[in-house]
Amino acid sequence: MTKPTAKETMRNNRPSCDLLAATAQIVSPILLPFLLGCSTARTLPPAPVAVSRAERTAEQAAKLSESQNWPAAAQEWKLAAERFGLLNDQAREAVALHNLAQAQRELGHAVPARRLLEEAASLNKKLGRTNEWWRNQIALLQLEALSADATALRARFEKLAPLAEHLADRSVRGLFLNELGLWRQTQGDFTNAAACFLEAGRLFARSADPAGHATVTANLARCFDARKNLEEALRFWRLALGEFERIADPHGIAYALAGEGRSQLAAQRDLPAAEELLRRAARNYRILQCASETRTTLELLGNCLVAEGKKGEALSVQAELRDLAGRSGPLPAQ
């Protein structure tokens, strides 16, 4: 049983509203607020306190995750999972567990992250939430790809690949193919990796998922980079940048800027353009507080400056890298 929408509730009250509007033209302004305050529309009862508390906790946790405050996000997602669990709301408990796993992964806690994702997957399987179960599996693939356990990663791909062929949700199937492409690329199977990315891109396009399409476009660019096909790499980096700009994704924009700058540097054709791209990417990563990406991009920028004969500026970048190496707090804005 669903609650009626406000539009449905007010539908039968339109004549009285028209009467009030006409009356408003002739009655005293002092009486008007009292007339307009009268309504036969029923107000919805407030949500139970325990439900509101759990929902507010999840909303706060989501804000903390978005701002990448992972220690605080982990605490709030844990509390949200507990509160939804007390309500026996297993669907939203599974969502909270999945997001808690993401926070634990960002904190470098791979073992508890894996346990949480398996727990979320178990709940979603029991509830028949197929797409959510697949998202748990994809997160597990990403987690195992970061570990040194290549055997576990291969086994999970072999288990999931036959099932993925029957996935009805195009976007979820695209997510799986993207991960499969990344894995094949690490194995040196660039042809099949590119095929996975292209098919994922088609699925994302058909499911109107611009974020997914932008991601596989960037992964195709990286794949062409690895194959030393720099012309195609540059073309796809520019496409990816445009797609990330259209969806206003700061991390994606920084990634595409750095990728295009790296390809320009490797091509050794337009070093000033490579320098500009890498400077913008390093600045963006610094603002986003992405320490590892900032260092990697600055290293590329230093190499570019040396290639341009700008030894003084290259020394300044090297000094910045040394400063970042010894820094444990937030990155300085420049």
User: All domains of the chain, ordered by start, with CATH?
Assistant: 50-149 (1.25.40.10)
Residue 36 has pLDDT above 80, yes or no: no
**What does the DSSP assignment read for 199-231?**
HHHHHHHHTT-HHHHHHHHHHHHHHHHHTT-HH
Give the mean model confidence (pLDDT) for residues 269-284.
96
Angle at CA 94, nearest 5°, toward 88 and 100?
Answer: 120
Would you say 64 and 100 are in contact if contact means Cβ atoms under 8 Å apart? no
Q: What pLDDT was estimated at residue 75?
A: 97
Could you tell me how many helices (H) and strands (E) the chain has, helices first? 17, 0
Q: What pLDDT was estimated at residue 332?
A: 58
Residue 47 confidence class, pLDDT cut points 50, 70, 90 = confident
Question: Which residues, in sequence order, are CB contacts of 180 under 8 Å at separation 6+?
Answer: 157, 161, 196
Would you say 181 and 161 are in contact if contact means Cβ atoms under 8 Å apart? no
Residue 180 has pLDDT above 50, yes or no: yes
Q: What pLDDT was estimated at residue 15?
A: 35
Comparing C-alpha atoms, which of 207, 234, 210 is closest to residue 221? 234
**What does the DSSP assignment read for 121-184?**
HHHHHHHT-HHHHHHHHHHHHHHHHHSS-HHHHHHHHHHHHHHHTT---HHHHHHHHHHHHHHH
pLDDT above 90 covers a percentage of the chain that reads 76
Residue with tokens 């929902």: 55
Residue 255 has pLDDT above 50, yes or no: yes
Identity (one letter) of the amino acid at 260? E
SS3 298: helix
User: Which region among 40-54, 176-190, 253-267 has the lowest average model confidence (pLDDT)?
Assistant: 40-54
Q: What pLDDT was estimated at residue 313?
A: 95
Q: Would you tell me how many other CB atoms lie within 10 Å of the CB of residue 292?
A: 8
Q: What pLDDT was estimated at residue 30?
A: 35
Residue 263 confidence class, pLDDT cut points 50, 70, 90 = very high
